A and B are shown apart, each in its own frame.
Chain A
Amino acid sequence: MNVRAHMSMLFHLDKCIGCHTCSVACKNLWTDRKGAEYMWWNNVETRPGTGYPTGWEDQDHYRGGWEKNWVGIELKLQSKPKAIANLFYNPALPELDDYYEPFTFRYEDLFNAPESKHQPTAVPISAITGDPIDIESGPNWDDDLSGSTIYAANDPNLEGVSEEVRQQMGEIERVVFNYLPRICNHCLNPACVAACPSGAIYKRGEDGVVLVNEDECRAWRMCVSACPYKKVYYNWSTGKSEKCILCFPRMETGQAPACAHSCVGRIRYMGVLLYDADLIKWAAEGPDDEMFDRQKEIILDPFDPAVIKAAKENGIDDGWIDSAQQSPVYKFVKVWNMAVPLHAEYRTLAMMFYIPPLSPVVSTIEEGLVRLDIPRERVDFELFNSLEKARLPIQYLANLFSGGNEEVIEKILRKMLAVRIYKRRESVEGIIDDATLAMVESADTTPEEIEAIYRLTTLPTIAERFVYPPYHREMAAEAIYGDPLARKGDVGFGYIMPPERGP
């Protein structure tokens, strides 16, 4: 057992309102710079939709992630020998138009425009060339556009959903959508790290954050192609790749990443997960339908004395073990079995987790009255026994999260519904009858667990949502520089040495 610690984020999609405050917080903090205008380390997508960059999940086109073959697993982008042969050839790279051409406005014209018979206006210009442009795309182009035949209908996750249901999803009465906030997944088996010819990308030992060493990066951009989530970006101004750094300077000082901290819907949770690094290969090479089960298996129980002993032997601080025991992410992922990673089938072992969203009930009009469109004998528990009636098809969510495994998603949604129904009976009717208890049991949960899930879902304080371990940066600084204050004030994104570029 080779125990390591990982900082993980959990997104409760049932609570996301799609306000993009996270995106703006991240943008203002990290990518408001020349060359980074088009980068959104955190973005929020409307689903079904095509996302940003457009169609990023189409791996036949972008060739991101890993695929299983006779040697085990290999980058979908290219094998190792091919990587040398094709060092100067990277056709799977997304182009600027796959993201969008960043734009701004000539705001100064509002003050400086010459006298005219028309009121002045600030015309849109390209943020790269400065020339006037027609704005044809953006990082959130299909916002709230579910039901669209141009965008939503081309969501690859609709594969396997019947034609009839897909047609219905384009009608106003049946349109449904959810929001999907995305950051770098800080994977356990990161394709970007494996693809980098310069060895410039690494996964930090202490907390698993995946970082690009800007001094080592040589602009091969293989990381951009290899990342199946398209979360590594190329800065055209500095000639270096950049990505989400999980706000490590904030985490090291006990603050949540800017996206999580600013979240209006309070959908994000952060905490430590302990995992067994010896089993990463075993987990990444699993059969398609076992990907998530194996990933869950390598996440370890922080209360197990054997795990604690092995963690200490690996130099994991007591504070980290304590933090892992308090971790809300551990509870949702491993204890309550309610969370899944995005696209487990990419085999990168993504370490950011999602609780899938519930759907509104489909209603129908009968004798002039609205009633739930589910069999009468099942109306008591709404969708609990009729998940096939959920507006957001289970198949769709399964394609998005669990590599097509519907059973995983159904179990989670049942548990979420059990919590909702149980708490409603308790607070509205004031009585929990036997039928309700039977329903709770069939959702593989208990009243005690429901109460705990309810509290952590709806009533958590900021300290319960974000549980931070002590990073002890002062000790690291002391060990390296001899002076705990040697690097005070040094955190941030930038260059210690300016990048060298040709003329």
Chain B
Amino acid sequence: MTHLSDGQRDTRIRFSDLVAQPRRVLTTPTWSAVINKGRAYSPFTLNVEELVPWRTLTGRQHFYLDHENYLEWGEHLPTYKPRPDHTMLSETEISANEAQGRLLNYITPHGKWSIHSTYSENIRMKTLSRGGYPVWLNDKEAAEMDIKDNDWVELFNDNGVFVQRCITSARIPRGTVFVYHATERTVGIPISPLRQKRAGMNNSITRTRLKPVLMSGGYGQFTYSFNYWGPTGVNRDTFVYVRKIDKPSY
């Protein structure tokens, strides 16, 4: 596969280039896309075009994982699992007595407006996304909590607090509160009325838990490699209390 580096051996990226704008890197054998000649990143093109076996036990793509840890935890096939009960997490017990609010399942999926934390707080993206990091609530549930669209809301639990304005929408299922993940803590973050400190970002109310199956190793694709395969922080999902607040101060 040395031909993949043809014409690229003289590529140099200087520090000033990186400061100016992000740069594409060379086609690498550890990722799976051929990106030569400006081709857009598309996963597994390397495998398909260069006949590189997938780096799995069978050399093919897997949906089924027959490792005994996965079997034992019921993670061998991607199937529906009900959300865990909030008492299992014990991240809301202290807060339960602290203030009124409704206990909701808090989820933080990938953002529409950013790649992780990149570029979300510049003036363009802030202008297109309501000037903040809105909290999405089910419209009917919000009405029951006396919350109107664009009201300030406070999300809190034993881990921390998040204060932003809200969007009420029929697109969010009841029982759920939704924030795009990887918000910054730099722009328009008010003081939390409850905790009397600068409110946090989306991960201030989640906490890292190690997923046990990710600690299995030495088995086909389950082989540790830095930033590639290993135990990750599972911190996208928890329970929070949600309550309406008056306009907070900065």
Interface bits A96-127 vs B (CB < 8 Å: 1, else 0):
00000011110100100000001101111000
Q: Is the CB of B128 within 8 A of A124?
A: no
Residue A431, interface by CB 8 Å? no
Write the A165-204 contact mask toward B (1 if CB under 8 angstroms, else 0). Answer: 0000011100100000000000000000000000000000
Number of interface residues, chain A, beta carbon within 8 A:
36
Residue of B nearest to A121 (CB): B189
Q: Is B67 an interface residue (CB 8 A)?
A: no
- A145/B128 contact (C-beta < 8 A), A121-B187, A122-B186, A124-B188 known: no
List chain B residues, Cβ under 8 A from A124. 131, 187-188
Contacts of A150 in B (CB 8 A): 149, 168
Chain A residue nearest to B197 in the complex (CB): A118
Interface set, chain A 113-172, CB cutoff 8 A to B? 118-119, 121-124, 134-136, 138-141, 143-150, 170-172
In the complex, whether B52 has a CB less than 8 A from a CB of chain A is: no
Chain B CB within 8 A of A399 CB: no
Q: Out of B123, B124, B139, B188, which one reaches A149, CB within 8 Å? A: B139
Kindly state whether residue A23 has any CB partner on chain B within 8 Å.
yes
Chain B residues with CB under 8 Å of A104's CB are 123
Residues of A contacting B171 with CB < 8 Å?
144-147, 172, 175
B170 in the interface (beta carbon within 8 A): yes
> 8 Å CB contacts to A: which residues of B155-192?
165, 167-173, 185-191
Interface bits A363-380 vs B (CB < 8 Å: 1, else 0): 000000000000000000
B197 neighbours in A (Cβ, 8 Å) = 118
B187 partner residues in chain A, CB cutoff 8 A: 105, 107, 121-122, 124
Q: How far is the CA of A145 from the CA of B188 in the complex (A)?
A: 23
Determine whether A28 belongs to the interface, using a CB cutoff of 8 Å to chain B.
Answer: yes
Interchain CB contact (< 8 A) of B129 among A27, A105, A140: A140
Bound Cα distance from A118 to B129, whole angstroms: 26
Interchain CB contact under 8 A, B128 and A140? yes
Question: In the bound complex, do residue A139 and residue B127 qualify as a contact, i.e. CB atoms below 8 Å apart?
Answer: yes
* Residue in A102, A103, A119, A147 whose beta carbon sits within 8 Å of that of B169 in the complex: A147
Of the candidates B131, B149, B172, B188, the one having the most CB atoms from chain A within 10 angstroms of its own CB is: B131
Interface majority SS (helix, strand, loop, mixed), chain A: loop
- Answer whether residue A316 sits at the interface, using C-beta atoms and an 8 A cutoff: no
* Known A105-B126, A147-B169: A118·B191 in contact at CB below 8 Å: yes
Measured CB to CB, the closest approach of chain B to A85, in angstroms, equals 39
| Given A119-B198, A121-B198, A148-B168, A138-B131 contact (CB < 8 Å) | yes
Evaluate contact between B170 and A134: CB separation under 8 angstroms. Answer: no
A103→B198 contact, CB < 8 A: no
Q: In whole angstroms, how far apart are the Cα atoms of A376 and B4 in the complex?
A: 52
For A138, the chain B residues whose CB sits under 8 A away are 127-131
Interface check A63, CB cutoff 8 A: no
Partner of B170, one of A20, A118, A143, A171: A171
- Minimum CB–CB distance from B126 to chain A (whole Å) comes to 7
Task: List the A side residues contacting B150 at CB < 8 Å.
Answer: 136
Task: Compute how far the CA of A140 lies from the CA of B129 in the bound complex, rounded to whole angstroms.
Answer: 7
Instruction: Tell me which residues across on chain A come within 8 A of B191, comparing CB atoms.
Output: 118
Over the window 89-101 of chain B, the binary record of Cβ atoms lying under 8 Å from chain A Cβ atoms (1 yes, 0 no) is 0000000000000
* B127 in contact with A102 (CB, 8 Å): yes
Report B41-76 residues with CB < 8 Å from chain A CB: none
Who on chain B is nearest to A177 by CB?
Answer: B171
Q: Are B188 and A139 in contact (CB under 8 A)?
A: no
A107 CA / B121 CA spacing, docked (Å): 10
Residues of B within 8 A of A105 (CB): 121, 123, 126, 187-188
Query: Chain B contacts of A135 at CB under 8 A?
Result: 130-132, 165
**In the complex, are the beta carbons of A145 and B167 less than 8 A apart?**
yes
The residues of B that contact A147 with a CB separation of less than 8 Å are: 139, 169-171
Which residues of A lie under 8 Å from residue B129 when comparing CB positions? 138, 140, 143
Give the size category of B's interface with A: 20 to 34
How far, in angstroms, from A122 to B168 measured CA to CA in the complex?
25
What residue of chain B has the Cβ atom nearest to residue A19's Cβ? B112
Q: Residue-by-residue, is A28-58 near B (CB-CB < 8 Å gives 1, otherwise 0)? A: 1000000000000000000000000000000
A144-B171, A148-B169, A149-B139 are known contacts. Are A27 and B124 too (CB-CB below 8 A)?
yes
Given contacts A105-B126, A135-B132, contact A118 B167 (CB under 8 A): no
Residues of A56-108 at the interface with B, using a CB-CB cut-off of 8 Å, are: 102-105, 107
A296 to B5, CA, bound (A): 53
Q: Are B198 and A118 in contact (CB under 8 A)?
A: yes
- A residues less than 8 Å from B127 (CB atoms): 102-103, 138-140
* Known contacts A105-B123, A123-B250, A124-B188; is-contact A175 B130 (Cβ 8 Å): no
Contacts of A139 in B (CB 8 A): 127-128
Specify which chain B residues have a CB less than 8 angstroms from the CB of A134 in the assembled complex: 247
- Chain A contacts of B173 at CB under 8 A? 172
Set of chain B residues within 8 Å of A102, measured between Cβ atoms: 127
**Which A residues are in CB contact (< 8 Å) with B169?**
144-145, 147-148
A-chain residues with CB within 8 Å of residue B167 when the two chains form the complex:
145
Q: Which residues from chain B contact A121 at a C-beta distance below 8 Å?
A: 185-190, 198, 250
| Chain A proximity of B50: nearest CB distance (Å) | 24
Contacts of B190 in A (CB 8 A): 121
Chain A residues within 8 Å of B168, by CB: 148, 150
**Which residues on the B side are within 8 Å of A148 (C-beta)?**
139, 149, 168-170
Specify which chain B residues have a CB less than 8 angstroms from the CB of A119 in the assembled complex. 185, 198
Asked if A24 CB lies within 8 Å of chain B CBs, one says: yes
What B residues does A122 contact at CB under 8 A? 186-188
Complex-state Cα separation, A429 to B128, whole angstroms: 44
A171 to B173, CA, bound (A): 10
* Contact present for B128 and A170 (CB under 8 Å): no
Could you tell me if A170 and B186 are in contact, using CB atoms closer than 8 angstroms? no
Min Cβ gap A71→B in Å is: 43
7 A-B residue pairs with CB within 8 Å: A20-B128, A27-B124, A105-B123, A121-B189, A146-B171, A171-B170, A172-B173
Chain B residues in the interface with A (C-beta under 8 A): 112, 121, 123-124, 126-132, 139, 149-150, 165, 167-173, 185-191, 197-198, 247, 250
Given contacts A143-B130, A148-B139, A170-B170, 20 further A-B contacts (CB under 8 A): A27-B124, A103-B131, A104-B123, A105-B187, A107-B187, A110-B186, A118-B198, A119-B185, A121-B185, A121-B186, A122-B187, A124-B131, A135-B165, A138-B131, A139-B128, A140-B127, A145-B167, A150-B149, A171-B170, A172-B170
**Considering the complex of A and B, which 3 residue pairs feature the smallest CB-CB distances, nearest first?**
A147-B170, A135-B131, A118-B198
